[in-house]
Amino acid sequence: MAVVKSSLSEENLKLVGEALQGALVDLVDLSLVAKQVHWNIVGPRFRSVHLQLDEVVATARQHSDTVAERASAIGVTPDGRAGTVAATSAIGTVPNGWIKDADAVQIMVDALGAVVTRMRERVEATDKPDPVTQDVLIQVAGDLEKHAWMFQAESA
């Protein structure tokens, strides 16, 4: 049942909907991974990395809402349920227990790298079918690349 009518063709709606759904899943998982690391980080750089992780969580949560609302606006129902996120996210699992600060930084470098790679693919895929969605994804990619840069600088 389509409650919201889209101005996109069926073909473009499918492509854009998949891009938005993938972005949503990656953003929800990124916020969960960053929070898990945030709660379990230990080591001499605890405070600075701990605070940096909260910035990633805030960015991911803000953008996940924007992405989900964009999907709804074009008639695609967003799915951020735990099972969906677990089954389709690009991010690897976080180890259980305490996480050394250097390991925490590497986890975030890897997670952000995976999400940014997929986000850039989505930016490219939405270029022609929906420049409005592409604009949303460009903003997401830019903000995540900034976080990726900062964590990479931490690991240098």
| Contact assessment for residue 18 and residue 80, using Cβ atoms and an 8 Å cutoff | no
Instruction: Please give the average per-residue pLDDT across 104-131, as a whole number.
Output: 97
| Contact assessment for residue 118 and residue 22, using Cβ atoms and an 8 Å cutoff | yes
pLDDT confidence bin for 2, thresholds 50/70/90: low
Tokens of 78: 């967003």
pLDDT of residue 1: 53
pLDDT of residue 3: 78
Residue 100 has pLDDT above 60, yes or no: yes
What phi and psi values does residue 75 have, to the nearest 5 degrees? 95, 15
Mean pLDDT taken over the chain: 96
Tokens of 56: 């990633």
Q: pLDDT for 11-60, tens place per residue? A: 999 999 999 999 999 999 999 999 999 999 999 999 999 999 999 999 99
Query: In sequence order, which ranges of the chain are alpha helices (DSSP H)?
Result: 10-40, 46-73, 82-88, 101-125, 131-155
**pTM value > 0.75:** yes
What share of the chain in percent tops pLDDT 90? 93
Q: How many CA atoms within 13 Å lie on the side-chain side of 53?
A: 25
Among candidates 136, 119, 140, which has minimal Cα distance to 59? Answer: 140
Tokens of 92: 């690897």
| Contact assessment for residue 76 and residue 17, using Cβ atoms and an 8 Å cutoff | yes
* Count of residues making up the chain: 156
